[in-house]
Structure 1
């Protein structure tokens, strides 16, 4: 087994057995987070395999949380210590616990009765929602909030029927309601939000993707080889999909890539929403909520699936049989030219797709990594699912929320992802530069006013590397090798090309700003440190803030010729629209890493002209563009 392989069911079971033998497990012990402990880079290079697992142990009776590290290779408990500030992620069983506590509350029942909703109590959905952090005296320890939504039956979609202004604050450890807020007076929106029973259209003709000779990739355990690319595919309960040891043409590009955190802050001041700022990795676990993907729906083509194993609330292994999808896609023209004599050469692009999808409550997030034939790497995050909404009086205007259905108002919010890119451009010694395009003032150096150029700014320290994207300057960030040059004598490099979007909109004195400081910049850079994995810190749940990137970068460490880690923030700022209801079309965001002088010339010159399909001069070859009216040459 390779040191970077994902955890297996046997390893999870063995690790739990070690904890039991050490006397660390009781009837009230739960496992909110179980993660692989990735070995240091020297151990990986030497193929030293000591497989370790970090178990977060929560005593649900007392609220005490500890982190225990087990070597499953040696069958030993290596350490066990109390967790620091903040709470571990939520357990699945706590979702049901929050609902049962809410429904047993006389205050909640009285609020439902006052609204005339007692007939809806049986099927009411009491959503378990992370509370943020506000320093309230009664909100210490393991706290959650619950908002109420109505359903017509147990399988109904609840999000269309919010009970506005009813907020239940819950102490999970004490299993009690702290208080109930009832700002009632707004009717529950009447229109249902069901979307799966709409009659399908019949006008779309089938599209079939076939590879009669099989795919071009090869799989050896977790290692994937494809058209000059080599990498390892990983998965863990917190981040979900991870990529490791990416090389192109047998030269290193990235040591590790993942999306270790995202925050979803809401811009509404209403009592039921001002506190919402979900950390979907650190509070809920992206990987543990990973989907079991379906052929022809989530993935299309000739597919290879990777399973993944995560631990349930009791520490037992659970398999996600199809957690990761791997396939190839045609991607249009890669390059083309028509010579003066009319001779044309064209090559089609193809990309390798590595994807996973996680569902966190009402939202679904797809993470799609693309590898291209020219050495480009791209990440596309796909946000879909159901927008989170409250109720209001139909036809009124709200400053922070749009009416998307009669009486249903969806607040403005953001989905801010943070990618962690452990760069290794031709080795571990890299340096970082910011590249801006800028105009030259008319004058002696620009006599005709047409000139523009580019400016390179070295980002030498962590403070200098806290940057914003700037599309007006076509800004990119370039990671250069400190040890290798190309045939033109310039350092080999890769550029991070952002798709600029808003950073965190919350004010600097807000609690979400303190907790999600990582989202206030598009770019951070740090020297590699094995324990610097999560940009909002190890435990953002109920954390007052300041952990993670702002704490690490305060040291202002040197970034020149070092083992460099980039942290890139991206994602949509969402002003919901009627077209987003009752289920929203995918909202795309992401970035790319493209080679810049990494190769001496176009690495895709050797593609055959029929890489995807033979080219034909007849645009209607095989009658592909004929219909009943005769040939069409549009």
Structure 2
């Protein structure tokens, strides 16, 4: 559409190579030349626009590739926003459209809006009156713009809205989460920078407990008796990394990063055989259970509403990561479209993981044991009160695992009761869930894949089972998208086999990989609720769709103030054939959190995740070639 008057740049980078600072600069120059940037416009989203799968798979090593990026622009003055795609290679604007907020939803909340929120509140007579009724100095009250959701408020349609709570901060080092100003919420127009209304249900005592977990006096004397643990690899690490491509043992894959999903894995293969084309956490939602008039709307989509990976930590050796570490930086764009590099955003290392296989034989006297190890690829990001870590594990036996770690500070209230735990004197923590949606674009030995639901089956006593000891399994092929909206069933050990419909192993069985869910509750909100409409993806443990390069995010492209129905529920209405096709699995997993006193003042890590294990993909144990431990510690 529009080209910058400058020499065209070409690149031999792989289509999925990491973003460079030069590419971020080139994209900004193109947008500026197209007249899309001015003093009021900010970047609300920036990420690589990955080519379709067939183009990437057909790419010849060393050949030039067109590197394109998607940018969402927000005009802070007018509230207008644009969705653009730019080629950094050709230095051209390929497409641009203006968003229609009532239909599309709004761009994510950005840093600039965090910066002015307290000034907006402190210009509101109603807000100041509510603080005065509580004997609170406005200068001591911290506030954040929280995503508004969509409710039956006609006056909010098409407008950029946030809601805000206050938290008293007693001094600069005081963790304000300990002092929620309850019974009070403000609804804010972020474009006009005005307060629409203040809801005050009455004065609630502000909890006086301390949340200063980092105060040495709170921590107490250091625990004695813990000796140092040192993890060393005298001969160096066993993996290599080159321009985002990782090789370790028989594993071969690419690593990516963007501000919405964070860490992404691409073209995961074992011994030259493809397993998964792309794996990521495509969305997450944190729905809260307190129905109080000031809290019922609390539901946060940390990926789609906040672009949470833009806040990823720069990881520290010996603290976040332990061992012989390889770090990867991540380059994103700031609010102004300038490159921002997060140093040490991704941590990679090997870990010992106990016994891989072992047998001592009574007949031959043989005694063999091998150690399991895994390659760990991880990142950590804080978002508001919580901190999330995402750890992808690759094992020597072909297993893939994702472990999500939730820590940080629980969201607090001043009203412990039916829907909140009292975690400290007078301090409540509302019940809530952390629900993640993994997008697994499978290529199990190719793109002709199908999904079978497999579970254990009891066999009644009698006939061929006279003693009642028999049990079997059932396998149900999911042939269309309408069939493939499934719940977990821990009682029957339900799993989902992704099989190749054109390839078999030496035993004549379809080669496959199995998704093992953790079997915890999915979305608990009522099916008629607003949050259910907006987070329908989280109401099922599994969805299977036919691959479409435009279908990237479980709740749709624009989640903030989207009225609902976008993403998975919209796509599956096509009811496409998924039997022997190029399929994508969307897996919901997570935590249902009833906070404990032990979660205060900082929460020990809680874990959730899932596993992908080979089932018939290999003809025998693929880890027989792992050598014995060469160490003085193993005799």
Alignment TM-score, normalising by the size of structure 1: 0.95
Where does residue 50 of structure 1 map in the other structure?
66
Q: Do the aligned residues in 1 keep the contact of 2:486 with 2:543 (CA within 8 Å)? A: yes
Residues 31-42 of structure 1 aligned to structure 2 (within 5 Å): 31-42=43-54
Which stretch has the larger CA shift, 406-415 or 21-30?
21-30
What is the match of residue 14 of structure 1?
Answer: 26
User: Match for 2:408 among 361, 385, 388?
Assistant: 385
| Residue 42 of structure 1, CA deviation | 2.5
- Contact 1:146/1:169 (8 A) holds in 2: yes
Q: What does residue 249 of structure 1 align with?
A: 271
1-structure distance, mates of 2:36, 2:563 = 29
Q: What is residue 138 of structure 1 aligned with on the other side? A: 155
Q: How does 1:121-132 map to 2 (within 5 A)?
A: 121-132=138-149
**Structure 1 residues 152 and 334 mapped into 2: Cα distance closer, same or farther (>3 Å)?**
same
SS of equivalent residue, structure 1 residue 61: coil
Partner-residue secondary structure (3-state), 1:540 = coil
Task: Tell me, in whole angstroms, the C-alpha distance in 2 between the residues paired with 1:612 and 1:50.
Answer: 49
Deviation of 1:271 (Å): 2.4
Task: Sort the Cα spacing of 1:512 and 1:612 in 2 relative to 1 into closer, same or farther, 3 A.
Answer: farther
Q: Which moved more, 1:540-549 or 1:283-292?
A: 283-292
Give the Cα separation in 2 of the matches to 1:184 and 1:299: 47
Q: Secondary structure at the match of 1:554?
A: helix
CA 1:613–1:573 in structure 2 vs 1: closer, same or farther (change >3 Å)?
farther
* CA–CA separation in structure 2 for the residues paired with 1:510 and 1:137: 17
TM-score (norm 2): 0.95
Q: Give 1:518 deviation, angstroms.
A: 0.3
Match of 1:355 among 374, 378, 387: 378
- CA distance, structure 2, for counterparts of residue 272 and residue 454 of structure 1: 49
1:502-513 aligned within 5 A? 502-513=521-532
Match of 1:60 in 2: 76
Query: Any conservation in 1 of the 2:199–2:294 contact (CA below 8 Å)?
Result: no
Q: Which runs of 5+ in 1 are unaligned?
A: 617-634
In structure 2, the residue matched to 1:89 is 108
Residue 277 in 1 paired to residue 277 in 2? no
Give the 4+ runs in structure 1 shifted more than 6 A. Answer: none
Q: Is 1:545 paired with 2:564?
A: yes
Contact 2:133 2:203 in 1 (8 A): no
Contact 1:348 1:611 in 2 (8 A): no
Two-structure CA RMSD over aligned residues (Å): 1.2
The answer to whether the 8 Å contact 1:330/1:612 transfers is no
1:461-480 correspondence runs (5 A): 461-480=480-499
Q: Residues 288 and 296 of structure 2 are in contact (CA less than 8 Å); yes or no, is this contact kept in structure 1?
A: yes
Q: Secondary structure at the match of 1:99?
A: helix
Checking the alignment, whether the CA contact within 8 Å between 1:123 and 1:154 is kept in structure 2 is no
What does the per-residue CA deviation read over 1:316-355, in whole Å, with 9 as the maximum and x for residues that have no partner?
1111011100000000011111110554211110000000
SS at the partner of 2:521? coil
Aligned counterparts of 2:198 and 2:556: Cα–Cα separation in 1: 31
CA deviations on 1:505-556 (whole Å, 9 max, x unpaired) are 0001100000000000000000100000001001110011000000001111
Per the TM alignment, residue 167 of structure 1 is displaced from its structure 2 partner at its CA by 0.4
Preserved contact between residue 304 and residue 559 of structure 2 (Cα < 8 Å): yes
How do 1:223-262 residues align onto structure 2 when only pairs under 5 Å count?
223-262=245-284
Q: Is the Cα–Cα contact under 8 Å of residues 347 and 611 in structure 1 kept in the other structure?
A: no
Q: 1:330 maps to what in 2? A: 352
Give the match's secondary structure for 1:472: helix
Match of 1:619 in 2: none
The aligned counterpart of 2:8 is none
Report the 3-state secondary structure (helix = DSSP H, G, I; strand = E; otherwise coil) of the residue aligned with 2:309: coil
Q: What residue in structure 1 maps to residue 443 of structure 2?
A: 424
Query: Deviation digits for residues 583-609 of structure 1, max 9, x if unmatched?
Result: 001110000000001111111111122
Structure 2, unaligned runs of 5 or more:
1-12
> What is the correspondence of 1:564-575 to structure 2 with a 5 Å cutoff?
564-575=583-594
Over residues 268-321 of structure 1, what are the superposed CA-to-partner deviations in whole Å (9 max), with x where a residue is unaligned?
112232101100000001221211111111111000111001111111111101
Alignment correspondent of 1:452: 471
**Structure 1 SS opposite 2:485:** coil
CA distance in 2, matches of 1:586, 1:615: 33
Where 2:580 maps in the other structure, the secondary structure is coil
In structure 1, C-alpha distance between the alignment counterparts of 2:384 and 2:267, rounded to whole Å: 33
How far apart are 1:202 and its partner, in Å?
A: 2.5
| Pairing partner for 1:148 from 123, 144, 166 | 166
Shift in Å at residue 127 of structure 1?
Answer: 2.0
| Cα displacement (A) at 1:613 | 6.4
Q: What is the rounded CA distance, in whole Å, between the counterparts of 1:499 and 1:613 in structure 2?
A: 38
Contact kept, 8 Å, 1:138 with 1:178, in 2: the verdict is no
Per the TM alignment, residue 109 of structure 1 is displaced from its structure 2 partner at its CA by 1.2
Tell me how far apart the structure 1 counterparts of residues 244 and 213 of structure 2 sit (CA, whole Å): 37
- Per-residue deviation, 1:135: 3.2
Contact 2:18 2:243 in 1 (8 A): no
Q: Deviation of residue 125 (structure 1)? A: 0.8
How many Å separate the matches in 1 of 2:552 and 2:52? 13
Aligned to 1:595: 614
Partners of 2:112 and 2:326 in 1: how far apart?
32
The answer to whether the 8 A contact 1:350-1:373 is kept is yes
Q: Distance in 1 between matches of 2:424 and 2:242?
A: 50
Secondary structure of 2:113's counterpart equals: helix
